[in-house]
Amino acid sequence: MTKNEIYRQLTTSAEVLLFIYACYKKEFRLNDLKFQQEFLDKGVRLDTLRRAIKKLIAVGVLEKSPAPHQYQLTDIGKNLTPTPLS
């Protein structure tokens, strides 16, 4: 799956922001306040962020880690380089 094919499946700005964030960080914790604040500063609410996580899991670029509330890129996601937003 190419980066463009993934971007076509992402329908909200929250999903695109989370995808780009995940590509740079490789993994993150949903209950990390610093992580949440980065998205709140961009106008993304926590419930919207949860839906974006579910969508990225469905697309196949994100997976749940063994640790609680932690997510990481799949092998597909690790092979992609995101396009930075300006």
DSSP for 44-67, written as a single string: --HHHHHHHHHHHHHHTSEEE-SS
If you average pLDDT over every residue of the chain, what do you get?
84
Of residues 13, 9, 17, the one with CA closest to residue 58: 9
Q: What order do you get walking across the sheet with 62-64 strand by strand?
A: 27-29, 70-73, 62-64
- pLDDT of residue 83 exceeding 60, the answer is no
Task: List, in order of start, the domains of the chain with CATH numbers.
Answer: 3-78 (1.10.10.10)
**CA 7 to CA 59: how far, in whole Å?**
10
Please tell me which residue, 52 or 20, carries the higher pLDDT value: 52
Q: Residue 48 has what pLDDT?
A: 92
Over the stretch 47-76, which tens digit does the pLDDT of each residue have? 999 999 999 999 888 899 888 888 988 887
Using CB atoms within 10 Å of the CB of residue 14, give its burial: 0 to 12 exposed, 13 to 18 middle, 19+ buried: buried
**CA 31 to CA 46: how far, in whole Å?**
10
